[in-house]
Amino acid sequence: MNAAAGPAPVLAALSAERAEGPGPDDATLALAAGLAADEGAPLAAVMAAALPRDIDALAHAASLTPEAMRSRMTAVLARRLDALCSATAPDAAREVRLGKPFVEIIRAVQARGAGLLVKAAEDLPSASAALLASTDQHLIRKCPCPVWLVRGGAARPRRVVAAIDVTEPDERALNLAIVAAAARVAHPDGAEIRLLHAWQAEGEGMVRMWSDDSAAFDRYLAEVEHDHASAMRAFAEEARAHLAALGATARLTPVLRRGAPRRAIPRDVAEHKAEALVLGTLSRSGIPGLLIGNTAEDVLNAVSCSVVAVKPEGYESPIR
């Protein structure tokens, strides 16, 4: 959306499941409403529900047509959506959609030109990770705008990790988008963004194999680390200028961490008790709908904080 048209809408995706008392959707809606108010952006809420596979049989049992059954479902969900919005976001635009939830949510994003989707994360219990449920996985892969999957309460995060890769010049624009998204979701007062780059010495195995000289290996490791540090310093300077131009006040702290990203990033998030992780999702496969890479997916499924997934410029969703 161009500047003349104003900020792109913030869209909150709310669960169609009935809940007693305050729940994750209340926190999600409060976060979306607060962010929209800060940015002067329109706020909308969508509730998407799957149609029962046996809707024709259900309609027949209730002496209704399938169309009348859909209308009744829509009316019930609309009342539920109104109840959620009435206290926190009374001015939010609202819509109910029936169909595959992730497809209908993405279509709502596209129809409204939303610039951010906010949704409560749905976790699947696991012994080692908070695995994201199917709808969330699909949204991360296929939604054209950034997706903020919220865990925890309604407070904006003060400790945010922004995971970037400073070694690939082609990812500069994505790195800046990650930093901007981190500043966007961060608490407006006193937040810190850890600008995290996980690095590896890719030739470590070969150096160890070719030489018994430990000093040679140490020199190689120091050179590799120096190159990554130089790239990080250059990008951090650019990122600070970018945030200043956006009017963001979050403190930026560059961090180098040695190790494979799929392990180093979750470890940093856990050790520093980050409340949100922001990272880019990309794939070199070129296949629509397979945007997210294996590393990014592993990382997102290995952290228990809120996550924000950012798409590279030019991404087109396979959902129409």
- Can you give the pLDDT at residue 313? 86
Res. 284 pLDDT band, cuts 50 70 90: very low
Average confidence (pLDDT) over 277-285: 74
Res. 209 pLDDT band, cuts 50 70 90: low
- Can you give the pLDDT at residue 3? 44
Res. 293 pLDDT band, cuts 50 70 90: low
- Can you give the pLDDT at residue 235? 97
Domain that holds residue 152: 122-320
Residues 205, 225: one domain? Answer: yes
The average confidence (pLDDT) of the chain is 88
Residues 214, 264: one domain? Answer: yes
pLDDT digits (tens, 9 = 90+) for 120-170: 998 666 544 556 778 998 999 899 999 999 998 879 999 999 999 998 888
Residues 243, 276: one domain? Answer: yes
Residue 67 CB-density burial (10 A; 0-12 exposed, 13-18 middle, 19+ buried):
exposed
pLDDT digits (tens, 9 = 90+) for 68-110: 989 999 999 999 999 999 988 999 999 999 999 999 999 999 9
Average confidence (pLDDT) over 30-42: 96
Q: Residue 231: pLDDT above 70?
A: yes
Residues 33, 127: one domain? Answer: no
Tokens 């129809």 locate to 111
Average confidence (pLDDT) over 225-252: 96
Res. 1 pLDDT band, cuts 50 70 90: very low
Task: Give the end of a domain, one of 99, 120, 141.
Answer: 120
Q: How far apart are CA 146 and CA 307, in angstroms?
A: 10
Q: Locate 297 and state its tokens.
A: 């997916």
Amino acid at 36: A
Q: How far apart are CA 73 and CA 77, in angstroms?
A: 6
Task: Give the end of a domain, one of 120, 149, 180.
Answer: 120
Residues 38, 6: one domain? Answer: yes
The pLDDT > 70 percentage for the chain reads 86
| Least trusted range by pLDDT, from 38-47, 136-145, 244-253, 281-290 | 281-290
| Least trusted range by pLDDT, from 90-104, 180-194, 215-229, 285-299 | 285-299
Residues 127, 236: one domain? Answer: yes
CATH number at 223 reads: 3.40.50.12370
Contacts of 43 (CB under 8 A, 6+ apart): 9, 10, 12, 32, 33, 36, 37, 89, 91, 92, 93
Residues 2, 81: one domain? Answer: yes
Residues 181, 94: one domain? Answer: no
Average confidence (pLDDT) over 252-264: 94
Residues 76, 46: one domain? Answer: yes
Residues 196, 304: one domain? Answer: yes
CATH number at 13 reads: 3.40.50.620
Q: Is the pTM of this model over 0.85?
A: yes
Task: Give the end of a domain, one of 101, 120, 139.
Answer: 120
Average confidence (pLDDT) over 15-19: 79
> Do the beta carbons of residue 306 and residue 151 sit within 8 Å?
yes
- Can you give the pLDDT at residue 177? 95
Residues 282, 183: one domain? Answer: yes
Q: Domains in the chain: how many in total?
A: 2
- Can you give the pLDDT at residue 77? 96
DSSP 287: -
Q: How far apart are CA 316 and CA 31, in angstroms?
A: 27
Helix ranges, 187-280 (H): 204-210, 214-246, 261-271
